[in-house]
Amino acid sequence: MVPVVDPLPPPCPRGGFLLATCQAGAEATLAERMLPLLQRAGRGAWRRGLVTFRLPPGIDPPDDPLAGPLAGAAFARALVRCFGQVSGADDATRTRALLDLVPRAAFGRLHLWPRDPRPAAEDDPHGQRLAASCTALLQALPGLAAGPATTGELVLDIVVDGPERWWVGWHRATTPSSHCPGGFHPRSLPGDKVSRAWLKLDEALASFAVPLTAGARAVELGAAPGGASQRLLEAGLDVVGIDPALVDPLVAAHPRFTHWRKRARDVRLRDFRTFDWIVADMNIDPTSTMESIGRIVTAPGVRPRGIIATLKLPDWSRAAALDGWLAAVRAWGYAPRVRQLSTGGREVCLVALRSPGPRRTTQRPDP
Ligand SMILES: C[S@@+](CC[C@H](N)C(=O)[O-])C[C@H]1O[C@@H](n2cnc3c(N)ncnc32)[C@H](O)[C@@H]1O
């Protein structure tokens, strides 16, 4: 059993590893964006959905790097200080190896999750194997509990690499996503929602702690069939959905919903003056999405409180434009944050809150 005494695992004098899990396919993009943030780090192991970084001696990232200098690690779903790997044919063998590997620390929570691509939820044998591993670990580590961590809790992380191998590490729960195993949004899509965009927006609101207030007004560019608008309506907002396509009757009939059945660029700029939130979820090139938003938020008299935008990445190389997009948002007078959500596809979610003071320029995003 791991004696639970020290507040934190000791730093590794010979340097250590940082492990990041991500959407399958995002590994190169993740590494490209992380390496400059991790000065002098080297690339370590590489699997689908998982990349490790070798930290030089003396570099000791904060307890929760996602909350610190690595906040720009938009493609990391979870960041873990890695102890190493354990392998064995069964849970008991791997658990024994884990107990030898993990130093003494005040872990309160156990997070166990498979790296991407995750097996489908309906894959019963896989789910049962995970549940059995979790039970075996909790029996061997009686001080720990499974499930979402509480703020500040020290989490023992296990990433299931394959049937016989686990990666083992730790993090402290600080940012909303770091409370959940693997940074996965803990909710699934309720049956009465009209599209998966409901779940994506639900994760965006939770993950960025977006301060929506009942009675505020939101406009959504690309609103059909209406899942995201449905989530905004549930938060008590008045919603205008802009989309040439049809909105689901369930949403269209809502007394606080209005459909402007046209393209975003066909709406007069002065019609955007009353909105507190601009939400964008159009299935168009990300540069065009940025141009649409920029046209609105830089117009005279339009000064929404915040922006929540999905930026599609038609291919991973488009992530190279991310810093330019963030610079444009700052120039509009907003403080942007960006993350690849666990419920989304090959895209990022950008959330930006209005900065105090006047906007700086009317800069358009780089193409
Ligand atoms: C991914 S779907 C949006 C899903 C939607 N947010 C929901 O909650 O169900 C993308 C939508 O963008 C719309 N769209 C594409 N280009 C647009 C434009 N220029 N202006 C407005 N809507 C646009 C499409 O008609 C399509 O309905």
Evaluate whether residue 360 is within a structural domain.
no
225 alpha carbon – ligand 1 mean position (Å): 8
The SS3 of residue 90 is coil
What is the per-residue pLDDT for 77?
Answer: 94
Same domain flag for 169 and 240: no
Instruction: Please check whether residue 107 is in contact with residue 170, taking contact to mean a CB–CB distance below 8 angstroms.
Output: yes
Cα 28 to Cα 22, 34, 93, 310, 316: the distances in Å are 10, 10, 33, 21, 9
Kindly provide the b/e burial profile for residues 55-75, where b requires at least 16 CB atoms within 10 angstroms of the residue's own CB. beeebebebbbbbeebebbbb
Residue whose Cα lies nearest atom 18 of ligand 1: it is 263
Residue whose Cα lies nearest atom 19 of ligand 1: it is 263
Same domain flag for 212 and 169: no
The SS3 of residue 297 is helix
Residues 6+ apart with CB under 8 A from 28: 316
Report the atom number in ligand 1 closest to the C-alpha of 198.
8
Report the atom number in ligand 1 closest to the C-alpha of 225.
9
Instruction: Please check whether residue 221 is in contact with residue 292, taking contact to mean a CB–CB distance below 8 angstroms.
Output: yes
Report the atom number in ligand 1 closest to the C-alpha of 242.
21
Same domain flag for 224 and 325: yes
Distance CA 126, CA 123 (A): 6
Domain count, the chain: 2
Pocket-forming residues, ligand 1, beta carbon under 6 Å: 195, 197, 221-229, 242-245, 263-264, 281-284
Residue whose Cα lies nearest atom 27 of ligand 1: it is 224
Residue whose Cα lies nearest atom 6 of ligand 1: it is 223
- pLDDT tens, the chain, 367 aa long: 444 444 566 655 555 889 999 999 999 999 998 888 877 788 889 999 999 998 877 666 655 555 566 666 899 999 998 999 999 999 999 999 999 999 888 899 999 999 998 777 677 777 888 888 899 999 988 889 999 999 989 999 999 999 899 999 999 998 899 999 999 999 999 999 999 999 999 999 999 999 999 999 999 999 999 999 999 999 999 999 999 999 999 999 999 999 999 999 999 999 999 999 999 999 999 999 999 999 999 999 999 999 999 999 999 999 999 999 999 999 999 999 999 999 999 999 999 999 987 665 554 544 3
336 alpha carbon – ligand 1 mean position (Å): 22
Distance CA 262, CA 237 (A): 21
Structure tokens given for 289: 């999405």
**Strand order across the 109-114 sheet:** 42-47, 50-54, 17-21, 78-87, 165-172, 154-162, 109-114, 145-146
Q: Where residue 339 sits, what CATH number does that domain have? A: 3.40.50.150
91-101 vs 124-140: helix axis angle to the nearest 10?
40
Instruction: Please check whether residue 55 is in contact with residue 41, taking contact to mean a CB–CB distance below 8 angstroms.
Output: yes
Same domain flag for 107 and 179: yes
Residue whose Cα lies nearest atom 23 of ligand 1: it is 222
pLDDT in tens, 210-262: 999 999 999 999 999 999 999 999 999 999 999 999 999 999 999 999 999 99
Same domain flag for 61 and 89: yes
220 alpha carbon – ligand 1 mean position (Å): 9
Same domain flag for 170 and 236: no
Last residue of a domain, one of 183, 212, 243: 183
What is the per-residue pLDDT for 5?
Answer: 45
Domain extent, residue 98, equals: 17-183
Instruction: Please check whether residue 330 is in contact with residue 324, taking contact to mean a CB–CB distance below 8 angstroms.
Output: no
The terminus-to-terminus CA distance of the chain in angstroms comes to 56
Structure tokens given for 44: 């370590």
What is the per-residue pLDDT for 339?
Answer: 94
Report the atom number in ligand 1 closest to the C-alpha of 231.
8
Q: Which of 283, 290, 346 has the most ligand 1 atoms within 8 A of CB, as the residue to mutate? A: 283
Report the atom number in ligand 1 closest to the C-alpha of 224.
27
Distance CA 15, CA 56 (A): 5
What is the per-residue pLDDT for 2?
Answer: 45
321 alpha carbon – ligand 1 mean position (Å): 22
